[in-house]
Amino acid sequence: MAAYAHVQTPVLDIAYLEWNPAGSRTAVLVHGWPDSPEGWIPVAERLSAEGYRVLCPALRGFGPTRFRHAETPRSGELAALGRDLLDFIDAMGLQHPTLVGHDWGARATANACGLRPGVAARLVLLSVGYGTNDPNQPLSLTQARNYWYHWYMATPRGAATVRNDRRAFTRMMWDTWSPGPWYTPAEFDEAARAFDNPDWADVVLHSYRHRWGHAPGDSAYDADNALLTPAPVLTVPTLVLHGGADACNQPATSEGKEGFFSSGYERRVLDRVGHFPQREAPQAVADAILKFCAKTDA
């Protein structure tokens, strides 16, 4: 089991994994749902071998990360994820890191850049199309079908499943979002330990309910939500990596987003890769990140 370090922010005690603390540049890799920081290990090892200090924080409600105060609402709203990441960057004293995010982590990293332009040297988004936080966004019937689990979690039956049968529920996502077989039972078990966090169910249920307007947000993030709605143009060089076989977010959901980025934008579709590129094709993901960093350094 990987050894976590911890840092305190105003809201959280954030657990994180770290490689190469003396690295000359920093990359922050943020996991998604349903996953854990350990999913980044092969990519992190490759980046650290190339001279990067690599940090992989556990999101609120995941792994050893904990809320500092019992009275804090267990919000999963997307603005909160972005603010948490900014708090982590501040607490760690990071200067212009490369931000890399998958799924929820992609939303966190993009929102952090939207809330604080200039915070990152570059941005890499995996498996998510930017500008899809709006509950009124256009949604194809195929994508609505893919989001069955969103609608299910809005019901009492879905809430009970999240609370009482979380491993079977999340394993279904792993089994259906990518061409299989692509993972070992040990890999899933390692990730699923992050779902034993006592706040996981509350954060997950609130996240999916809030993003479609089925639950109120935490008023602490009203100002952040106002800045993020509609989605702002981002001023950071950005790379999007999307699996061509992603059965959660169709590759089409990340098409045509160039207008949201003012400092350079690239998009690459990874053939025969599903929703978890950093797990399914870690060397291809690491290669793409390193190539993009070298290009944007030039």
Q: What pLDDT is stored for residue 201 in this prediction?
A: 98
Those residues with Cβ within 8 angstroms of residue 34's Cβ, 6 or more apart along the chain or in another chain: 170, 173, 174, 191, 192, 195
**Selection from 59, 276, 41, 277 nearest residue 171 by Cα:** 276
Q: In the predicted model, is pLDDT for residue 175 greater than 70?
A: yes
Q: How confident is the model at residue 1 (pLDDT cuts 50, 70, 90)?
A: low
Q: What pLDDT is stored for residue 31 in this prediction?
A: 98
> How far apart, in whole angstroms, are the C-alpha atoms of residue 9 and residue 11?
5
The model's pLDDT over 62-84, given as tens digits with 9 standing for 90+, comes to 999 999 999 999 999 999 999 99
| Cα Rg of the chain, angstroms | 17
**Selection from 96, 127, 105, 86 nearest residue 239 by Cα:** 127
Q: What pLDDT is stored for residue 214 in this prediction?
A: 95
The model's pLDDT over 223-276, given as tens digits with 9 standing for 90+, comes to 999 999 999 999 999 999 999 999 999 999 999 999 999 999 999 999 999 999
Query: Bridge partners of 15?
Result: 6
Q: What pLDDT is stored for residue 90 in this prediction?
A: 98
Give the pTM.
0.97
Sign of torsion over alpha carbons 29, 258, 295, 116: negative
Q: What pLDDT is stored for residue 178 in this prediction?
A: 98
> Average pLDDT over the chain, rounded to whole?
97
> How far apart, in whole angstroms, are the C-alpha atoms of residue 90 and residue 166?
33
The model's pLDDT over 106-117, given as tens digits with 9 standing for 90+, comes to 999 999 999 999
Structure tokens that stand for 210 in this block: 């809030």
> How far apart, in whole angstroms, are the C-alpha atoms of residue 119 and residue 178?
33
Contact in structure between 4 and 15 (CB atoms under 8 Å): yes
Q: In the predicted model, is pLDDT for residue 211 greater than 70?
A: yes
Q: What pLDDT is stored for residue 298 in this prediction?
A: 62
Once rounded to an integer, what is the mean pLDDT over residues 108-130?
98
Domains and CATH numbers, the chain: 5-295 (3.40.50.1820)
Q: How confident is the model at residue 132 (pLDDT cuts 50, 70, 90)?
A: confident
Q: What pLDDT is stored for residue 133 in this prediction?
A: 81
User: Exposed, middle or buried, 155 (CB in 10 Å: 0-12/13-18/19+)?
Assistant: exposed
Once rounded to an integer, what is the mean pLDDT over residues 89-96?
98
